[in-house]
């Protein structure tokens, strides 16, 4: 039996018996499954009407989740290619700095501005509204490290790591 994300998805729908057919027909990723329609279900071999309906309803939910979650993902650093050395600091020129800054929302009323704490995006926000604050990558790393230390979290030990 196949063990992948599509199998887990079908298992939650209680339709895991179709997992092998899905993979055999090229539906081995949820991104591909978002495009499933009636002709695809025919090709996969899903002939039971209520199974077809459950799969099509789940496909609609996948599409809706994708639309609502589009802005939730971000990275702190560019991904490294396997085997390539880390880039030297000289390649980060001033026009690239904004690309690698992290953004966070803060309450306007609770914010006190000290030094280079972040950049205000809008000065005309009302009370109790939120503003977008941009932190440089290094400052964000330091803030995360300090928070982990304050909370007594060691990411190199269980349950955060499998290292022995």
- Reading the chain (164 residues) residue by residue, the pLDDT tens digits are 445 788 888 888 898 898 888 888 888 888 888 888 888 888 888 889 999 999 999 999 888 877 665 554 555 655 555 555 555 544 444 444 444 455 555 555 444 444 444 444 444 444 555 677 787 888 888 888 888 888 888 888 877 777 65
pLDDT of residue 52: 92
Nearest alpha carbon to residue 136 among 108, 84, 81, 97: 97
**Residue 111: how many CA atoms within 13 Å on its side-chain side?**
21
* Residue located via tokens 């057919």: 21
> What are the sequence ranges of the domains in the chain?
5-68, 95-150
pLDDT of residue 54: 92
- Fold classification of 5-68 (topology level): DNA polymerase; domain 1 (1.10.150)
């Amino acid at each position: 039996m196949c063990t992948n994300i599509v199998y887990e998805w079908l298992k939650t729908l209680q339709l895991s018996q179709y997992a092998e057919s899905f993979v055999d027909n090229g539906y081995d990723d949820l991104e591909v499954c978002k495009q499933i329609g009636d002709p695809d279900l025919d090709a996969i071999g899903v002939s039971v009407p209520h199974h077809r309906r459950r799969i099509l309803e789940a496909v609609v939910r996948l599409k809706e989740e994708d639309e609502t979650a589009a802005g939730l993902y971000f990275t702190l650093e560019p991904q490294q290619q396997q085997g390539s050395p880390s880039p030297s600091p000289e390649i980060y020129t001033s026009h690239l700095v904004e690309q690698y800054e992290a953004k966070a929302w803060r309450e306007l009323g609770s914010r006190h501005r000290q030094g280079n704490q972040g950049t205000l995006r809008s000065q005309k926000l009302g009370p109790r509204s939120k503003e977008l604050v941009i932190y440089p990558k290094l400052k964000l790393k330091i803030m995360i490290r300090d928070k982990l230390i304050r909370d007594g979290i060691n990411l190199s030990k269980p349950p955060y790591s499998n290292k022995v």
